[in-house]
Amino acid sequence: MEPVERARGARPLWPAGAVCGLVAAFAGLAVASLAAVAVRPESAPLTAVGGAVVDRTPAAVKEWAIRTFGTSDKPVLTLGITVVLAVLAAATGVLAVHRLHTGLALAGAVGVLGAVAALGRPEASWRDALPSLAGGAVAAGVLYLLVTTLRRPRPAPGRPGGTWPMDRRGFGRIVTATVAASAVAGLAGRRLGAHGSARATASRADLVLPPPAVPAPPVPAGADLPIPGLSPFITPTGDFYRVDTALVVPRVDAGTWRLTLRGDGVARPLSLDLRTLLARPLVEHDVTLTCVSNEVGGPYAGNARWLGVRLADLLREAGVRPPSEGGPADQLVARSVDGMTIGTPVEAVMDGRDALLAVGMNGAPLPFAHGFPVRMVVPGLYGYVSACKWLTELRLTTFAAYDAYWVRRSWAQQAVVKTQSRIDTPRPFGRVSPGRVMVAGVAWAQHRGISRVEVRVDDGPWSPARLAAADGVDTWRQWVWPWDAVPGGHTLQVRATDGSGRTQTGTRSGTLPDGATGWHTVTVDVRPL
Ligand SMILES: Nc1nc2c(c(=O)[nH]1)N[C@H]1C(S)=C(S)[C@@H](COP(=O)(O)O)O[C@H]1N2
Ligand SMILES: [Mo]
C-alpha cells in the first residue's frame, strides 16, 4: 500500500492510528488471557513479561524495589509494563497508518517477545508461548482491519467525485465491535480462570486439619507484653509479611496436589498426596520467619504458630542420611508449583530442629499467599534458603552440583539468620513527652535464642532491657526498656546477644549476600505534647 496523502482540511491521521494500535493491543491481550486459562496463568503475556523482569532484575534493584514499594512492588511492576505496552501499541498504530507492513510486523514481534518471556519462566513448556503468539496474531489482524478501513477512500456525498480520506463510519463500527468482543473474551478468561481457582478455594475451605499429635505449649504468660506500638508476639496472619516472586498467587487445588521426594541417597522415592501427608503425626511449633532482604529495623519478620509434618522423619523413611552420617547429599532443593527453587542444608533439616512441611498457620490452613497447601519452615534460616511455599518437589543433591533460584542471583548458598533487634516504639522521628517512655521492640536469633537485649541513648552506656518470657529458641523475643526521657533530640540504639553468648555486631552491612547487620537506630524528639 502507498503511504496515504491527507486531503487538505482533513483531520490528521495519527490520533486514529493510535486508536488502531490501542484497540489491536486490547484485542490481543484479551485473546491471550483467554488462551492462558487453557495453558497456565503464568503464560499470560503481562504476567510472563512481569515474571521475566522479576527473574532478571539484579538483586540490588530488587532490594530497591522492595524498599521503595514494599509489598505493592508487584502492582507497580504490572502497571509499569501496561503503560509501556500501551505506548508501544499506540506508536505501532501510528506507524501502521503510514507503513502498514512495518506496523504489522511490529505487532507480531511484540507477541513473539511475550512468547519468549513466557518460555524463559521457570517450569515453562512450549505451550507457554501460545497465548502471546495468539495475542500477537490477533493484534496484527485487528490492526490490519482497522488501518485498511481507515485508509479506504469513501465517496463524499454531495461532492461528486470527491472522497473523504477515511471511512469514519466503518472505522468506528469496527473499533466498537472489536472492543466489545475483546471485553467479552477478557471477561470470559477471567471467569474461566476464576473457575479453576474456585476449585482451589473450595479445597481450602473443605480442608479440616487434624489436631497435632505434639501440640505446642501455650504461649507462656509474659511473652506478649501489652505495650502500645510493640509487635504482638504472634503476628496475626493477615499482617504477616509476604515476600515472593509470584505475580499471581498460585492457587493450588489440595485435591490434586502431590509432593515427590527423590535424588541422591533417596533409597525409597516418595510421591504423596495431601491426605497421606495429613495421616502422619503433626507437630505444632512457633517459629519466627525472617527475610534476608530485611534491612536493620525493617518489617520483613513475622512469628506464627505452624502445624506440620516433621521433614526429618519423612527423609529418614525414604532412606536419606545427613552428611554427618555419610549421606551423599548436602542440599535439599525444594521446588514450588511456580518453579521457585530453594536449597536448604540437609544437615540443618535433620539435626533435630523442627523443620516442618507446614500445612497450618495460626490455627488455619495456610493462606494461598503463604503457600497453600504445603510449605517448608525451618527455624534458624532465612526464608529464601528454607521456606519454599506451594511446595511440590523435594530433591536431594549437593551444593556443588546445583544453585537454586536466589543463589543464581548473587545471594549466598547458605544463610543462617543473623542476630537482630528492632525498636518498635517509639517510632523513628516520632515525638514523645518527657518523662517515663517505654522503649520496646523484638529481637531474634532463631534456633539460638535471645539471652540479652541492651539499649543506649545518644551513644551512652548500654543498659539491659527487660526481656519478655521466652517461648523457645526459635521465636523472637519482646523486650522493653523504661526510659526517663529529657527534652531534646535523642538517638536510641538496640543490640541483642544470642543464646550462644554472641552479641550482634554494630558493623553496618547491606542485605546482600546473606543478611544485613548493624544496630537499629531511632531518632526521637522529646518535647511536651
Ligand atoms: N514459592 C516460593 N516460595 C518462597 C518464596 C518465593 O518467592 N516463592 N520466597 C521466599 C522468601 S525470600 C521468604 S522470606 C519467604 C516469605 O514467606 P511469607 O511470604 O509466607 O512470609 O518465603 C520464601 N518462599
Ligand atoms: Mo526472603
Q: Does residue 364 share a domain with residue 427?
A: no
- Number of compact structural domains in the chain: 3
To test the pocket of ligand 1, the residue of 240, 244, 514 to mutate (highest count of ligand atoms within 8 Å of its CB) is 244
Q: Please state the separation of Cα 90 from the chain's center in Å.
A: 31
Q: Is residue 207 part of a domain?
A: no
Q: What is the number of other CB atoms lying within 10 angstroms of the CB of residue 505?
A: 13
Helix 100-119 vs helix 14-38: crossing angle, to nearest 10: 30
**Rounded to an integer, what distance in angstroms lies between the CA atom of residue 373 and that of residue 367?**
8
The closest ligand to the CA of 292 turns out to be 2
Q: 399 with 284, same domain?
A: yes
Between the alpha carbon of residue 460 and those of residues 49, 446, 518, the distances in Å are 52, 29, 17
Q: Rounded to the nearest whole angstrom, what is the distance from the C-alpha of residue 466 to the centroid of ligand 1?
A: 32
Of ligand 1's atoms, which has the minimum distance to the CA of residue 406? 12
**CA neighbours within 13 Å on the CB side: how many for 288?**
34
Kindly state whether residues 65 and 195 are assigned to the same domain.
Answer: yes
**Helix 45-56 to helix 14-38 angle, to the nearest 10 degrees?**
80
Question: CB of 406 closer than 6 A to ligand 1?
Answer: no
- Our answer on whether the CB atom of 241 is closer than 6 Å to any ligand 1 atom is yes
Q: With a 6 A CB cut-off, is 388 part of the ligand 1 pocket?
A: yes
Instruction: Based on the fold, state whether residues 253 and 189 are members of the same structural domain.
Output: no
> How wide is the angle at C-alpha 342 spanned by C-alphas 339 and 346, nearest 5°?
140
Q: Residue 480 pairs with which residues in a beta bridge?
A: 440, 466
Q: Are residues 52 and 176 in the same domain?
A: yes
Q: How far is the CA of 289 from the centre of ligand 1 (A)?
A: 10
* Same domain membership, residue 343 and residue 428: no
Q: Is 495 in the pocket of ligand 1 (CB under 6 A)?
A: no
414, part of any domain: no
Q: What is the CATH number of the domain that holds 437?
A: 2.60.40.650
Cβ atoms 431, 484 nearer than 8 A: no
Domain end, chosen from 200, 217, 250, is at: 200
Q: Strand order in 450-457's β-sheet?
A: 431-432, 520-526, 488-498, 450-457, 463-464
Q: How many angstroms does the Cα of residue 300 sit away from the middle of ligand 2? A: 8
**Mutate which of 389, 405, 408, 444 for ligand 1 pocket (most atoms within 8 A of beta carbon):** 389
Domain that holds residue 510: 420-526
Q: What is the three-state SS of 189-246? A: HHHHHHHHHHHHHHHHHHCCCCCCCECCCCCCCCCCCCCCCCCCCCCCHHHCCCCCCC
Q: Is 383 in the pocket of ligand 1 (CB under 6 A)?
A: yes
Tell me the three state secondary structure of residue 427: coil
User: Is 213 contained in some domain?
Assistant: no
Same domain, 160 and 119: yes
Could you tell me if residue 275 is inside a domain? yes
| Phi, psi at 481, each rounded to 5° | -140, 110
- The rounded Å distance from CA 87 to ligand 2 centre is 34
247 and 383 fall within a common domain:
yes
Are 397 and 425 found together in one domain?
Answer: no
Q: CATH no. for residue 374?
A: 3.90.420.10
Residue 9 in any domain: the answer is no
Same domain for 401 and 436:
no
**Cα 246 to ligand 1 centroid, rounded to whole Å:** 9
Residue of the CA atom closest to atom 24 of ligand 1: 388
Nearest alpha carbon, ligand 1 atom 21: 242
Per-residue pLDDT of the chain (529 residues; tens, 9 = 90+): 444 455 555 667 889 999 999 999 999 999 999 999 888 888 999 989 988 888 888 777 877 887 777 767 888 888 999 999 999 999 999 999 999 999 999 999 999 999 999 998 877 889 999 999 999 999 999 999 999 988 876 666 665 544 555 677 888 888 999 999 999 998 988 888 888 789 999 999 999 999 999 999 999 999 999 999 999 999 999 999 999 998 889 999 999 999 999 999 999 999 999 999 999 999 999 999 999 999 999 999 999 999 999 999 999 999 999 999 999 999 999 999 988 999 999 999 999 999 999 999 999 999 999 999 999 999 999 999 999 999 999 999 999 999 999 999 899 999 999 999 999 999 999 999 999 999 999 999 999 999 999 999 999 999 999 999 999 999 999 999 999 999 999 999 999 999 999 999 999 999 999 999 999 999 999 999 8
How many angstroms does the Cα of residue 506 sit away from the middle of ligand 2?
22
Does one domain contain both 30 and 52?
yes
Domain membership of residue 450 (yes or no) is: yes
Ligand 1 atom with minimal separation from the 384 CA: 12
Indicate the SS3 state at residue 56.
helix
Instruction: State whether the beta carbon of 393 lies less than 6 angstroms from ligand 1.
Output: no
- Confirm whether 179 is domain-assigned: yes
Residue 232 lies in a domain: no
Top mutation candidate among 337, 384, 444 for ligand 1, by most atoms within 8 Å of CB? 384
Residues around ion ligand 2, judged by CB within 5 A, are 243, 291, 383-384
Q: Measured in whole angstroms, how far is the alpha carbon of residue 17 from the centre of its chain?
A: 38
Last residue of a domain, one of 200, 225, 250: 200
Q: Which of 409, 443, 473 is the last residue of a domain?
A: 409
Whether ligand 1 lies within 6 angstroms of the CB of 384 is answered as: yes
Between the CA of 387 and the centroid of ligand 1 the distance, in Å, is 6
Domain match, 365 and 305 both: yes
- Ligand 2 centroid–CA 69 distance in Å is 15
Task: Look at ligand 1, atom 15, and give the residue with the nearest C-alpha.
Answer: 383
